[in-house]
Structure 1
Amino acid sequence: PGTAVEVKVPAEPLSTPVGKTAELPCSYSTSVGDSFALEWSFVPPGKPLSSSHPILYFTNGYLYPTGSQAKRASLLQNPPTGGVATLKLTDVHPSDTGTYLCQVNNPPDFYTNGLGLINLTVLVPPSSPLCSKSGQTSVGGSAALKCSSSQGAPRPVYNWVRLGSSPTPSPGSMVQDEVSGQLILTNLSLTYSGTYRCVATNQMGSASCELTLSVTDPSKGRVAGALIGVLLGVLLLSVAAFCLIRFQKDRRKRPKETYGGSDIREDAIAPGISEQTSMRPDSSKGLLERPPSASSVTTTKSKLPMVV
């Protein structure tokens, strides 16, 4: 039987700043022959080893880069036949974070530990966090201030601070979670109003955002509303009184219809005769005809002239 194939890799996870070159150490012990083969592959975080993606192969004396990382991947020693199979990965991206597999195959040598696993983390400074707030921002209410960065490795921790000279809320009325980036404020008062800053930090740097919290007093709003209602009522009454006075003045100035003593109306009835006893002249007979019923005629002491 052949000798044992043993691959050695670092036991601790590795980390490299974004944009730099990562070296993934891998060494092996075996008697290299014509059947010697080396393979490097990559497994994204949270995926099983069976879903690995190839990075490069070395077999039959030739190196075959492959996959999305091929242009940035190379071997520290090429050919890797001297027991060193270290991988170099230039200009690392955040997506390069994951598990790397160094596998040596050298038939007829049997395997004892022919596979080595290396965990790599690409260090990324926190991106500018997003600040937001929710809750009832009135006196006696509670508010939640939230802060989160979309990027950052390792995962950033968050810290809220209040800006300016205003006193910081008492510890009993505020709860801060450095992992989730949430600040809970309870039993709000007007003194809580102000500008708050959230700072996201990891070993690569920090970034921050700010927001303004305005605590309102509902009782002052009700007083202001009542005052506005009273003012509107007074205004409406003033307008109504003005219109009434104006109407009275216009009515007094309006002229009345009068008739002078010399004015004669065509439809007027002669004095002393009622409407029922009005006579109509008959030009053919030259006499005044009496109405058919003498009992309906009312006479007075004045006499009417006869028309000839």
Structure 2
Amino acid sequence: MTKKRRLAIISDFHLDSNHFSIEEIELFISLLNDLQITDLHFAGDISNDLHNISEPFFHQLESLTDLSVTFNLGNHDMVGLSEEEISVSNFKVKTFASTAFVSFHGWYDYSFMKEKVDFQKIITFKNSFYFDRKIHRQFDDIKTTAIELEKLENLLTELSAKPEIERIIVSTHFVPHQQFIINTRYEKFARFNAYLGSQHFHELFTHFPKVTDVVFGHLHQRRTPLKIDNILYHARPLGYPYEWQMVNEFLVKYPQYQIAENWHLRKRYNVLRKSSDWQAFRRENLMKEFQSSLTIFDLDD
């Protein structure tokens, strides 16, 4: 009888920024056990400190469970890392019978910008205000992405040539298709599309029919799985509490916490976050929030 594996992928866990308590981490572990997850993969933005926060967390998970824990990096994880340290966890392959699970970091090259690109303006904003000013890559964004694409193409070519590999599942952090970018007419929001990812990743995937699924995060918006050119895209990032689905559910149950600027996610969350009503609601619903952020694949061993 073929042994079964259950792979769960979660992105944008933000362990430190979300201030998860010991009890909440235990709840997360309990959920993984209940779902009979055997392999857990973090698709980037695990924390802002890979060595001192994320890696001890991985060891904790593996010591308390039978999980096999893997990861690829997001931009938050890269803070303080050298290019060599970043490359250590890039382009990894895990094989489940006839399925190859490929994980890589990804990056961005401004290809999601709808208007004519003013490169200097994009770079100046990034270096002055955007989070990634804290990251020091060896090359500029366009060359960094080109290198990622070249290495990814080589790896997918190698795997696709193997007759024993019938399916390839991909995990990355950055957005691989323009269908998922920020759709707005306001320039101050639209400019963030420059740093989301690259359309060239999707264009590359289409050359490899064995690629069936791509899981990603970075943009904190959960979407229904979407098939584009026979590739099923999964975006189910956990994100920050003010972005969680349970906030909407809370405001339906407790309308007294609603504000006029209900569209302003941070403001509306600040109104309720210290209330006993919210704390109790969070305890009751956090497991459901965790579960809605998992992309799960049932695979043979």
TM above 0.5:
no
Higher helix share: 2
Q: TM-score, normalised by structure 1?
A: 0.22
Higher strand share: 1
Q: TM-score, normalised by structure 2?
A: 0.22
User: Which of the pair has the greater relative contact order for Cα pairs under 8 Å at 6+ separation?
Assistant: 2
Q: Which has the larger radius of gyration?
A: 1
